[in-house]
Amino acid sequence: MSLQDAVARHVRDGDVIVIEGFTHLISFAAGHEIIRQRRRDLTLCRLTPDLIYDQMIAAGCARKLVFSWAGNPGVGSLHAFRRAVEGGTLEIEEYSHFGMVARFSAGAARLPFWTLRDYAGTDLPRANRQIKSVTCPYTGEALATVPALNPDVTIVHAQRADAQGNTQIWGLLGVQKEAAFASQRVIVVVEELVDERVIRSDPNRTLIPAAIVSAVVVEPWGAHPSYAQGYYDRDNDFYVGWETISRDRAELAHYLDEFVYGVQGRAEYMAKQPRLLERLKAGEQRCAGVNYGF
Amino acid sequence: MATVAARELADGEVVFVGIGLPNLACNLARRTHAPNLVLIYESGAVGATPSRLPVSIGDPALVTGSLMVCGMADVFQLFLQNGRIEVGFLGGAQVDRRGSINTTVIGPYQRPKVRLPGSGGAAEIAIHAQRILIVAKLSPRAFPERVDFVTSPGQRVAKVITDKGVLERDAASGELVLAGLYPGVEVAEVRAGVGWPLQSRPRLGRLDPPTSTDLQLLREVLDPQRLYLKS
């Protein structure tokens, strides 16, 4: 299925959506497609909104943001996010990383909430009334609770999957497994489509099973400017450059015009930047391999 | 600051590493007096040995050659909440008299003057790591009497490593006090950078300048592009 079709079919106005991936494997391709299809009133959830949600906020897709760390990693601020929050035009619901991870864990296990030992002495529960507490029935200890997060759609970028959607990821795993299992619908975007035999040759590497996947899309370099371990490096220069672009509304609008609205998809986006391939293509570092025999 | 922070780490300790200067400090310690330091990044890399300075906490170089890569649910539940982290490194826009850190907002939460990134893992790191080290530059704005918002509580803060000296949390009073000065720095300079009447330990510790090996490692090996080093 094309990314255009997958987004048209599975992402609707007003949806609660998750594009996960902690620094690694962030589906910019899907975010850009959602911007192109002009989805509105979305509740965007992610631990780290990153540049992709900054772009979606700037493009007017978001009504609300649910998050735990909203910065440009190693660089500074997400300026579209900051303008929206400081201007009061974006609703926010804020947790810590552990809180967000716990929300996905509850959602994935289809429990109403998750308990964690957290938030004592912090102002976060006062800022977000959804952070509550419960008394442990065994020990009497007060434990923090966060509600389950069950998105309408979760979009995960991965190194490879088979046509059915059995999806393999290596490198940083983030919270993609929990987010996918918590979701009503799951779109998987991959660098490579592989035969089912490849998946079966190394089943421990499968993070997301076909049973929970709604659509599989092949989109090489779909995570740029984030990265895909073993395929291409993170484009740190782009992250640094985003500081200048996102500070200025006009520059940001110009960026969206050229690299999002101005292209039909990833292939065109990549064709505009031919030097990315040589600059970011990953080197070789093979693992030792294991014996699955019995 | 990076060398002073590095010297706070003992060989074999398990450290939850933040990005920026803490990351530089941990990798300096690993290459000098603490080769068995175990670096854990919240992104899921355990026992990382990054061959380049990671710009982000999720850099691919943290994965290549590490001992273990796990999901973030495991990082927070099985390592942090389980009590396996000995040292946690934190930074912040504001640090107050009691060692509480603010990385959330300047001004009121609902109408912020400046919206900062938020907690990330900082709330739970401050609650679960056995010993917290803070790295921050002194200024009255950065060190107010009380932070505008408590992102991370200060109870487990051991030391605050600044650009002029080191503060410690006094066990009896619960407040930060001056514990050591860099060579050539006067007590008054540190007091001028803090928004409350700063108490001092009766005897201030001596903080030695970086050795030539430290400087060579920092400038030529760890941060040749000067991402975090200023000079």
Read off the DSSP letter of residue B187.
H
Phi, psi (deg, nearest 5) at residue B221: -110, -50
Residue A108 Cα distances to A19, A149, A178, A184, B203, angstroms = 16, 8, 5, 10, 55
Contact of B174 with chain A, judged by CB distance below 8 Å, is answered with no
Inter-chain CB pairs, A–B, below 8 Å = 165
Q: For chain A, say whether B107 makes contact (Cβ under 8 Å).
A: no
Positive or negative torsion for Cα A210, A215, A218, A223: negative
Is B43 in CB contact (< 8 Å) with chain A?
Answer: yes
- Structure token digits, residue B98: 């009691």
| pLDDT for the residue numbered A86 | 85
The 3 state secondary structure assigned to chain A is CCHHHHHHHHCCCCCEEEECCCCECCCHHHHHHHHHCCCCCEEEECCCCHHHHHHHHHCCCEEEEEECCCEECCCEECHHHHHHHHCCCCEEEECCHHHHHHHHHHHHCCCCEEEECCCCCCCHHHHCCCCEEEECCCCCCEEEEEECCCCCEEEEEEEEECCCCCEECCCCCCCHHHHHHHCCEEEEEEEEECCHHHHHHCHHHEEECHHHCCEEEECCCCCCCCEECCCECCCHHHHHHHHHHHHCHHHHHHHHHHHHHCCCCHHHHHHCCCHHHHHHECCCCCCCCCCCCC
Cβ separation A116–B152 shorter than 8 A: no
Q: Nearest residue on chain B to A77, judged by CA atoms?
A: B117
Q: Please report the residues numbered 115 through 134 in chain B whose beta carbons come closer than 8 angstroms to any beta carbon of chain A.
A: 115-124, 127-128
Dihedral (Cα; A175, A180, A184, A190), 10-degree rounding: 130
Contacting residues of A for B42, CB less than 8 Å apart: 97
ipTM above 0.90, yes or no: yes
Long-range Cβ contacts of A50-53 (<8 Å, 24+ apart): A50/A23, A50/A26, A50/A78, A50/A226, A51/A78, A51/A225, A51/A238, A51/A239, A51/A242, A51/A246, A52/A19, A52/A26, A52/A27, A52/A28, A53/A19, A53/A78, A53/A81
The answer on pLDDT for B22 being more than 90 is no
> What is residue B169's predicted lDDT score, i.e. its pLDDT?
97
Q: What is the pLDDT along chain A (294 residues), one digit of tens a residue?
A: 999 999 999 999 999 999 999 999 999 999 999 999 999 999 999 999 999 999 999 999 999 999 999 999 888 899 999 999 988 899 999 999 999 999 999 999 999 999 999 999 999 999 999 999 999 999 999 999 999 999 999 999 999 999 999 999 999 999 999 999 999 999 999 999 999 999 999 999 999 999 999 999 999 999 999 999 999 999 999 999 999 999 999 999 999 999 999 999 999 999 999 999 999 999 999 999 999 999
What are residue A284's phi and psi, to 5 degrees?
Answer: -100, 130
Q: Hey, are the CB atoms on B44 and A173 less than 8 Å from each other?
A: yes
**For B48-106, how does the pLDDT look when each residue is reduced to its tens digit (9 = 90+)?**
998 888 888 899 999 999 999 999 999 999 999 999 999 999 988 899 999 999 999 99
Look up residue B186 and give its two tokens. 């006067």
Q: Residue B56 has what pLDDT?
A: 87
Q: How confident is the model at residue B41 (pLDDT cuts 50, 70, 90)?
A: very high
Q: At what angle do helices A50-58 and A79-86 cross, to 10 degrees?
A: 50
Nearest-by-Cβ selection for B63 from A82, A94, A172 = A172
Please tell me whether the peptide bond between B210 and the residue prior to it is cis, using omega within 30 degrees of 0.
no
Using N-to-C axis directions, what is the helix angle for A50-58 and A249-256, rounded to 10°?
A: 100
Distance, in Å, from the CA atom of B2 to the CA atom of B4, rounded to the nearest integer, reads 6
Q: How many Å lie between the alpha carbon of B52 and the closest alpha carbon of chain A?
A: 13
Is B149 in contact with B123 (CB distance < 8 Å)?
Answer: no
Is the CB of residue A260 less than 8 Å from the CB of residue A252?
no
B214 vs A31: CA distance, rounded Å: 44
Catalogue the active-site residues of B: 42
For residue A102, CA distances in Å to A18, A89, A91, A206 come to: 15, 28, 21, 22
Of B65, B69, B122, the CB nearest to A173: B69
CB contact under 8 A, A117 and B114: no
Residues of B in contact with A175 (CB under 8 A): 71-73
Residues B82 and A32: beta-carbon distance below 8 Å:
no
Record the tokens describing residue A284, joined without a space.
């070789």
Given a cut of 70, is residue B231 above it in pLDDT? no
Check: CB of residue A169 under 8 Å from CB of residue A215.
no
In sequence order, the β-bridge partners of residue A158 are A190
Nearest residue of A to residue B124, measured between CA atoms: A118
DSSP H/E element including B158: strand B157-161
* Model pLDDT, residue B53: 85
In chain A, what residues touch B58 (CB-CB under 8 Å)?
22-24, 73, 172, 234
> What tokens appear for B210 in the block?
């970086």
pTM for this entry: 0.97
**Beta strands at B94-95 and B114-115: parallel, antiparallel or unpaired:** unpaired
Give pLDDT tens digits for B141-198: 999 999 999 999 999 999 999 999 999 999 999 999 999 999 999 999 999 999 999 9
Report the C-alpha gap between B7 and B32 in whole angstroms. 9
Whether residue A101 and residue B120 make contact (CB cut-off 8 A), yes or no, is no
Q: How far is A142 from chain B (nearest CA, A)?
A: 14
Q: Are A222 and A31 in contact (CB under 8 A)?
A: no
B114: which chain A residues are within 8 Å (Cβ-Cβ)?
Answer: 86
Q: Closest Cα of chain B to A8: distance in Å?
A: 30
Nearest residue of B to residue A227 by CA position? B60
Q: Please say whether the beta carbons of A70 and A79 come within 8 A.
A: no
How many angstroms separate the Cα of A17 from the Cα of each of A6, A153, A183, B226?
A: 14, 5, 9, 38
CB contact B143 to A (< 8 Å): no
